[in-house]
Amino acid sequence: SMGNAFTFLKTAVASLERDLPLGEAKEILKETMERYLLERLDYADRAIAQHAMGKLQNGDVILTFGHSEVIEVLLRTARKENIDFYVWVADSRPLMEGKQLLDTLLELGIPCGYIQLNALTYAMQQVTKVFLGASALMSNGSIYGRVGTAAVALLAKDRHIPVLVCCESYKISNKVQLESITQNELGDPEALLSSKGNHGGESAASPKFKVLNLLYDVTPSEFVSGIVTELGIIPPTSVAVLLSEMNPQDAAVM
């Protein structure tokens, strides 16, 4: 997603007239970036929420993982539309990002529950739909998201529960990724060990002991029922088509 934003910015810079005064160029770029954020983030999230609303109905038990701005917008919208639903927020250490969403749900008065990933099988017995956010959407339909996303989607798929991924179109990448090791980000390994009641000090000091704190994982497209973008709901197999329509110049080169 950052790559797409940088590409947009470089294109905007390249389109400026060479003899344009520096102050005027800065102002044009500022307005362009503000418009980009408004259209590709704010407006996109609202449009995604409206598309996803068609999949919600009274009595639904929704499960989501961690925190995603677009999922928060969706749940706010559903609340305003007076839909009767319950939300399970699944979370994981060490980031515990789900607490941010939980605070919002409590503030809005939305009935909700909070679990860690190890209690996923319990909550999934009640769930009717799973809504997930994404950090990036690969061209082969796989989802690059916060680590733990794949586990949630896998269990939901096994229980025949629909999994809908809400993702803005600017996050679509022309890359293909099949697993989580080749490309990932590493978090602070100490964050996994620093908790109350932790007795792993001696093990952590051992040269044979390694701590791996991966921040993201890849969810295969077969675990996903549909992808909700501001352009509509599409199957994972149509991501490449959507990408080519959004970037016709790249498709022509290929």
pLDDT band at 210 (very low <50, low <70, confident <90, very high): confident
pTM comes to 0.82
Distance in angstroms (rounded) separating the CA atoms of residues 100 and 103? 5
Cβ(99)–Cβ(91) below 8 Å: yes
pLDDT at 11: 73
**Beta pairing class for 216-219 and 143-146:** antiparallel
Residue 239: which residues within 8 A CB-CB, separation 6 or more?
137, 138, 139, 140, 141, 172, 221, 227
pLDDT in tens, 12-43: 677 777 887 888 778 777 777 777 666 666 78
What does the mean pLDDT of the chain come to?
Answer: 86
